[in-house]
């Protein structure tokens, strides 16, 4: 089960923390407004705060200056017992290619390893590379499979915009302007990890 105590990890001058009070909602909203983040958009600050309050959040901070600067974020939507949905993971472009995103995921994995009752993880996989899968490949003994493979004789389908994948639903074109993408597409593919396998849309 989820612990109520705050956790933190350090790497040089960088910090990952689950302390919700340290989060900087304005910085998160500014990042969400950027075209570098393709799966969400800026929102009313009260809505963003409610989202934070109802999630287990991980802030990534640069502590090189006197005041800590939030440079990354991730959150878990969870029942705090058996299921988590990992979403809204980002590292600001200026801090990428230093392994900070992978490190934050490793911190999240370490946090989740304490959950003896955890059975399933779901996460979105949009963009380049398979490092999400690599980070969770051997997590609690689960495997990695495409989302729409048959699992235990049952076919799992990807849903986008309320339609099944085979009904013609499309992933947003990431070359389109952000507002155009969100006016045409409201959903995207996801991934699931559970005790029988990790099913991921590619």
Strands 154-155 and 150-151 turn out to be antiparallel
Per run of 10 residues, the mean pLDDT along the chain (length 202 residues) is 87 97 96 87 94 97 91 96 90 95 93 88 66 69 51 42 39 51 40 37 31
pLDDT at position 3, please?
75
pTM of the model: 0.72
pLDDT at position 147, please?
53
Distances (CA, A) of 16 to 6, 22, 49, 106: 11, 10, 19, 10
Q: In Å, how far from its chain's centre is CA 156?
A: 21
pLDDT at position 130, please?
64
pLDDT at position 161, please?
33
Domain 1-118 listed as CATH 3.30.300.30: no
Every domain of the chain and the residues it spans: 1-118, 124-202
């Amino acid at each position: 089960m989820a612990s109520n105590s705050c956790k933190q990890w350090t790497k040089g001058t960088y910090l990952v923390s689950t302390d919700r009070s340290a989060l900087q909602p304005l910085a998160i909203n500014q990042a969400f407004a950027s075209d570098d983040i393709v799966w969400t958009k800026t929102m009313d600050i009260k809505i963003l705060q409610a989202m934070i309050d109802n999630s287990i959040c991980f802030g990534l901070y640069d502590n090189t200056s006197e005041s800590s600067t939030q440079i990354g974020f991730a959150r878990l939507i969870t029942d705090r017992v058996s299921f988590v949905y990992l979403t809204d993971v980002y590292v600001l472009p200026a801090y990428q290619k230093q392994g900070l995103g992978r490190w934050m995921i490793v911190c999240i994995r370490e946090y989740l390893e304490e959950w003896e009752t955890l059975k399933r993880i779901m996460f979105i996989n949009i963009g380049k590379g398979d490092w999400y899968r690599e980070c969770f490949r051997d997590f609690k003994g689960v495997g990695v499979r495409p989302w729409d493979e048959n699992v235990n004789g049952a076919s799992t389908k990807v849903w986008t915009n309320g339609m099944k994948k085979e009904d013609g639903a499309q992933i947003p074109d990431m070359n389109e302007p952000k507002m155009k993408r969100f006016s045409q597409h409201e959903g995207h593919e996801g991934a699931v990890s559970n005790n029988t396998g990790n099913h991921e849309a590619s």
